[in-house]
A and B are shown apart, each in its own frame.
Chain A
């Protein structure tokens, strides 16, 4: 019986058709997807913090409105993704607890601090750019609800990316101090952004299985290369340098050569020892704990209302 189900599943994957919530799927596939989608959702939620830092300090009302809308979109993306994870039998409250207890991860990038307003633009350009490289192929992921969530999310992400780049363009045309802010932000975010694609292929044990299941469609290194190729001309147009002495065009390969990210740093950040890990987790935990009485009130009120309606229906 299981063999037949497995065969049917394998055939669906090999025909590039979608797996849907009611379809049979191997336990490993379900678990991997729950982990990946949940971590993706957590990243959206934790990712509200570094940019949210600047809502109250945005230097113009237009930028403030753009930033507000972006942070709101991120909360919305978190909601879609938690819903997608729930179609696999996960529970949002449980996933939130796993995040707060440190049992599930979120993207390493959000453990870096936003130290100037240029960081807001650079996050849009690099971080959303990297997210797009990662997520556009996920629109063809084998799991239907995940792929569909990605379609919506990618549209909004590319909008954010353009807005981030436009902020940097405006700042580069501005004062000397503004240009320095941009270059400094680029210097600080470049390597962490390359690390967003995960460890190199030869050190990424789960990738092969995820690619066989067509959950992932491209390897970490492949996506990283694509990001570099996409970003270098944008940096030139902007008039900033990328902080990598080994970066140059390789005409033979038709790609850029670039230096090696500090993988030790990535491992440290993933294990909880980055610049802001503690602060991000503490903030998420305190928001959750301080909101407990509100959620409880909503639950109790809903129960009271339901009881009153039942009583009304009887009378």
Chain B
């Protein structure tokens, strides 16, 4: 396949959007190490984080050097959606974030895997991982939503708080032309509404536009907690320019 320079740029931008989502969410899940409510969740959260990190490495490598891209870009150059950079909060916040993202990622990779675009091979592998992540998030949403009064309340608050970041997931990403974004959003809403309903939770009514406007994260406009996150992520790499690890 021959690609024009412009097509290459578009492809790189798409790889960064998908890769940064996976990289940033993986990092957030890494913050749970040693803090999870049960040992089984230490294993599960690390497992999901490792899957996402694996995806990020493949995607960033198609766009350049994975370490340069992860450790030497400034905040404004990251293309992840704002949802994945949101702090872990309590376990309910982490699960709500996982539910929204994994459902989206599963649908998206399913679509990409069945197309003939450049991301089809990666998506073919990632879709299996995302199916597992989605199942994990759904099971926990049911347990927490339909558990105790406390867990119900915490989970409803988490769903409400993160809802505003979900619109961005469906802003078209340039280079992923085979995706019907509006159709993806409809299916996502149906699936999430179904899970929240079964978990006795209410689907929020608030806006889904993000901190600036929907699509801001993909333009490099992030929320405040993100800067602190990448400061921690990058500090050691940046302290030793040119070193090999």
Contacts and interface: CB of A to CB of B under 8 A. Distances in A.
Interface of A: 45, 48-49, 52, 55-65, 68-69, 71-72, 75-76, 78-79, 82, 117, 167, 170-171, 173-175, 177-178, 283-284, 286-287, 290-298, 300-302, 304
A37 B150 CA distance: 35
B147 A48 contact: no
Q: Is the interface of A mostly helix, strand, loop or mixed?
A: helix
Nearest to B45: A72
Interface string B218-245: 0000000000000011011100101111
A117 B236 CA distance: 8
Range of interface residues on chain B?
35 or more
B245 A171 contact: yes
Contacts of B240: 59, 175, 177-178
Contacts of A295: 37-38
21 contacts: A49-B34, A55-B31, A55-B33, A56-B232, A57-B232, A58-B236, A59-B245, A61-B60, A61-B66, A65-B57, A68-B33, A75-B43, A79-B43, A175-B240, A177-B243, A286-B35, A292-B37, A294-B91, A294-B144, A294-B151, A297-B148
Interface stretch (B47-55, B105-113, B163-171, B206-214): B47-55
Contacts of B244: 170, 173-174
A124 to B, nearest CB: 14
Contacts of A167: 245
Given A75-B42, A296-B147, A64 B36 contact: no
A202 to B, nearest CB: 37
A238 to B, nearest CB: 16
Given A68-B53, A174-B243, A56 B31 contact: yes
B237 A301 contact: no
B46 A72 contact: yes
B181 interface: no
A298 B27 CA distance: 26
Interface in B16-34: 23, 27, 30-31, 33-34
A78 B30 CA distance: 19
B1 interface: no
Contact of A65 (B34, B35, B53): B53
Ranked 4 nearest A-B pairs via Cβ: A291-B37, A297-B147, A297-B151, A72-B46
B243 A293 contact: no
A296 B148 contact: yes
B67 interface: yes
B39 interface: yes
Nearest to B61: A61
A294 B38 contact: yes
Contact of B243 (A45, A82, A175, A290): A175
A283 B23 CA distance: 26
Contacts of A300: 147-148, 151
Given A293-B148, A297-B143, A304-B146, A75 B154 contact: no
Given A59-B240, A60-B237, A297-B148, 19 more contacts: A56-B232, A56-B233, A60-B71, A61-B57, A61-B60, A62-B245, A68-B53, A75-B39, A75-B46, A78-B39, A79-B39, A82-B39, A174-B243, A178-B243, A283-B35, A290-B90, A294-B151, A297-B144, A301-B147
A171 B43 CA distance: 29
Contacts of B116: none
Residue in A64, A71, A82, A178 whose Cβ sees the most chain B Cβ within 10 Å: A64
A296 B46 CA distance: 22
Contact of B67 (A61, A170, A287): A61
A118 to B, nearest CB: 10
Contacts of B91: 291, 294
A298 B39 contact: no
B47 A72 contact: yes
B190 interface: no
Contacts of A63: 245
Contacts of A286: 35
Contacts of A287: 34-37
Contact of B245 (A60, A71, A283): A60
Contacts of B30: 55-56, 64, 68
A57 B54 CA distance: 17
A64 B39 contact: no
A72 B42 contact: yes
A262 to B, nearest CB: 28
Contacts of A71: 33-34, 42, 46
